[in-house]
Structure 1
Amino acid sequence: MSQRQAATTFNISRDTVAKMMTFSVPPGYRRTAEVRRPKLDPFIPIIEGWLEADRTMPRKQRHTAKRVFDRLREECGFTGGYTIIKDYIRERERRGQEVFVPLAHPPGHAQADFGEAMVRIGGVEQKAHFFVLDLPHSDACYVRAYPAAVAEAWVDGHVHAFAFFGAVPQSIVYDNDRCLVAKILPDGTRKRAALFSGFLSHYLIRDRYGRPGKGNDKGNVEGLVGYCRRNFMVPMPEFASWEEFNLWLEERCKRRQHDVLRGESETIGERLQRDLAAMRPLPAAPFDACDQATGRVSSQSLVRYKTNDYSVPVAYGHQDVWIRGYIHEVVIGCRGEVIARHPRCWDRDEIVFDPLHYLPLIEQKINALDQAAPLQDWDLPEEFATLRRLMEARMNRHGRREYVQVLRLLETFDLADLHAAVRQALQMGAIGFDAVKHLLLCRVERRPPRLDLDCYPYLPRATVEKTEARSYMRLLSVNAEGVA
Structure 2
Amino acid sequence: MFTVDLYRKVRLACAEGMSQREAARHFGISRDSVQKMLAYSVPPGYRRKAPIKRPKLDGFTEIINAWLEEDRGVPRKQRHTAKRVFERLRDEHGFTGGYTIVKDYIREDDRRGREMFVPLAHAPGHAQADFGEAMVIIDGVEQKAHFFAFDLPHSDACYIRAYPAATSEAWVDGHVHAFGFFGRVPVSVLYDNDRCLVAQILPDGTRKRARLFSGFLSHYLLRDRYGRPGKGNDKGSVEGLVGYARRNFMVPVPRFPSWEAFNAWLEEQCRKRQGDVLRGHTETIGTRLDRDLEVMSALPPAPFDACDQASGRVTSQALVRYKTNDYSVPIAYGHRDVWLRGYVDEVAIGCGGDLIARHPRSYEREDVVFDPLHYLPLIEKKINALDQAAPLTGWELPPEFATLRRLMEARMLKAGRREFVQVLRLLEAFELDDVQAAVKTALRMGAIGFDAVKHLVLCQVEKRPPKLDLDVYPYLPRAEVGKTSAASYMCLISEEAR
> TM-score, normalising length from structure 1?
0.87
Is residue 463 from structure 1 mapped to residue 485 from structure 2 by the alignment?
A: no
Offset of residue 59 of structure 1: 3.5
Separation in 1 of the partners of 2:475 and 2:305?
A: 54
Which residue number in structure 2 is paired with residue 349 of structure 1? 366
Query: Is 1:339 paired with 2:356?
Result: yes
Query: 2:27 aligns to what?
Result: none
The residue that corresponds to 1:107 in the other structure is 124
1:374-417 deviation line (CA, Å, top 9, x unaligned): 11111111111111111112112211111111111100000110
What amino acid does structure 1 have at the position aligned with 2:217? Answer: L
2:386 equivalent in structure 1: 369
Q: Provide closer, same or farther for how the CA distance between residues 258 and 474 of structure 1 changes in structure 2, counting only shifts above 3 A.
A: closer
Letter in 1 for 2:185: V
Q: How does 1:279-294 map to 2 (within 5 A)?
A: 279-294=296-311
| Partner residue of 2:405 out of 388, 397, 421 | 388
Q: Secondary structure of 1:310's match?
A: strand
One-letter amino acid matched to 1:252:
Q
In the alignment of these two chains, the number of paired residues is 450
Counterpart check, 1:132 vs 2:149: yes
Corresponding position of 2:461 = 444
Map of 2:134 onto structure 1: 117
Q: Aligned pair in 2 of structure 1 residues 453, 47: CA closer, same or farther (>3 Å)?
A: same
Alpha-carbon offset, residue 91 of structure 1: 3.6
2:225 aligned partner: 208
- The question of whether the paired residues in 1 share the 8 Å contact of 2:168 and 2:197 is answered with yes
Q: Is the 8 A contact 2:347 2:361 kept in 1?
A: yes
Q: For the residues of structure 1 that align with 2:458 and 2:340, how far apart are their CA atoms?
A: 35
Superposed CA offset, 1:236-293 (max 9, x none) = 1111110011111111111100111111111000000000001000001100000000
CA distance, structure 1, for counterparts of residue 475 and residue 453 of structure 2? 14
Aligned partners of 2:86 and 2:489: how far apart in 1?
A: 122
CA RMSD of aligned residues (A): 2.6
Report whether the alignment pairs 1:305 with 2:335: no
| Contact kept in structure 2, 1:359 and 1:404, CA below 8 Å | yes
Measured after TM superposition, the shift of residue 46 of structure 1 is 2.4
- Which letter does structure 2 place at the counterpart of 1:373? A
Q: Which position in structure 2 is the counterpart of 1:152?
A: 169
Amino acid at match of 2:175: H
Q: 1:150-196, CA deviations, whole angstroms, 9 ceiling, x for partnerless residues?
A: 11000000000000000000000111111111111111111111111
Question: Counterpart of 2:241?
Answer: 224
Indicate yes or no: 2:110 matched with 1:90. no
For the 8 Å contact 1:406–1:436, the answer to whether it is kept is: yes
Q: Judging changes above 3 Å, is the alpha-carbon distance between structure 1 residues 452 and 70 closer, same or farther for their aligned structure 2 residues?
A: same
Question: Which deviates the most, 263-272 or 49-58?
Answer: 49-58
The match for 1:51 among 68, 92, 108 is 68
Tell me which residue corresponds to 1:161: 178
| Residues 432, 456 of structure 1: 8 Å contact kept | no
Letter in 2 for 1:439: L
Q: In the TM superposition, what whole-angstrom CA distance separates every residue of 1:104-124 from its partner, at most 9, and x where no partner exists?
A: 100000000111111111111
Q: Which of 199, 215, 218 is the equivalent residue of 2:216?
A: 199
Aligned equivalents of 2:151, 2:458: Cα separation in 1 = 55
Aligned residue type for 1:419:
Q
Pick one of 407, 413, 423 that aligns with 1:406.
423
Q: Which runs of 5+ in 1 are unaligned?
A: 1-27
Deviations 1:408-442 (A, max 9, x none): 11000001100110111011111111000001101
Aligned pairs for 1:465-480 within 5 A: none
- DSSP 3-state at the match of 1:179: coil
Give distance in 1, aligned partners of 2:160 and 2:412: 59
8 Å Cα contact 2:451/2:476 also seen in 1: no
Preserved contact between residue 370 and residue 391 of structure 2 (Cα < 8 Å) = yes
Whether the aligned pair in 2 keeps the contact of 1:434 and 1:456 (CA below 8 Å) is no
**Quick check: 1:179–1:193 contact (8 Å CA) kept in 2?**
yes
Shift of 1:462: 4.5
Picking from 395, 408, 417, the partner of 2:434 is: 417
Take 2:98 and 2:379, find their aligned partners in 1: how far apart are those partners?
84
What amino acid does structure 2 have at the position aligned with 1:234? V
Letter in 1 for 2:385: A
The amino acid that maps onto 2:293 is L
SS in structure 2 of the partner of residue 129 of structure 1? strand
Instruction: State the one-letter code of the partner of 1:105.
Output: H
Distance in 2, Cα, partners of 1:260 & 1:474: 100
Output one character per residue of 1:298-341: Cα deviation in whole Å (capped at 9) or x when no partner: 01000000000000000000000000000100000000100000
State the SS of the aligned residue for 1:453: coil
Write the distance in 1 (CA, Å) between the matches of 2:48 and 2:274.
53
Residue 252 of structure 1 is matched in structure 2 by: 269
Q: Match of 1:329, as an amino acid?
A: E
Structure 1: which amino acid aligns with 2:253? M
CA distance in 2, matches of 1:94, 1:217: 20
Preserved contact between residue 394 and residue 458 of structure 1 (Cα < 8 Å): no
TM-aligned CA deviation for residue 452 of structure 1: 1.3
Could you say if the C-alpha distance between residues 465 and 106 of structure 1 is closer, same or farther in structure 2, counting changes exceeding 3 Å? same
> Per the alignment, do residues 50 and 427 of structure 1 end up closer, same or farther by CA in structure 2, a change over 3 Å counting?
same
Give percent identity, aligned residues only: 73
Distance 1:434 1:108 in 2: 66
Deviation at residue 368 of structure 1 after TM alignment: 1.1
How far off its partner does 1:40 sit? 4.3
Asked if 1:173 is matched to 2:173, the reply is no
Q: Distance in 2 between matches of 1:474 and 1:327?
A: 75
- The CA deviation string for residues 175-219 of structure 1, in whole angstroms up to 9 with x for no partner, is 111111111111111111111111111111111111112111111
Change (3 A) 1:448 1:86: closer
CA distance in 2, matches of 1:37, 1:427: 97
For 1:36 and 1:224, the matched residues in 2 are separated by 44
SS of equivalent to 1:71 = helix
Q: Measured at CA, do residues 474 and 49 of structure 1 come closer, stay the same or move farther in structure 2, by a change above 3 Å?
A: closer
Task: Compute the TM-score of the two structures, normalised by the length of structure 2.
Answer: 0.85
**C-alpha distance in structure 1 between counterparts of 2:217 and 2:475, whole Å:** 66
Q: Which residue of 1 aligns with 2:284?
A: 267
Query: Partner amino acid for 2:356?
Result: I
Query: Which of these residues, 86, 89, 92, is aligned with residue 75 of structure 1?
Result: 92
What is the rounded CA distance, in whole Å, between the counterparts of 1:154 and 1:336 in structure 2?
27
Partners of 1:29 and 1:256 in 2: CA distance: 47
Indicate whether 1:429 and 2:455 are aligned: no
Q: In structure 2, do the counterparts of structure 1 residues 81 and 444 end up closer, same or farther at CA, with 3 Å as the change threshold?
A: closer
Contact preservation (8 Å) 1:195, 1:291: yes
Shift of 1:457: 4.4
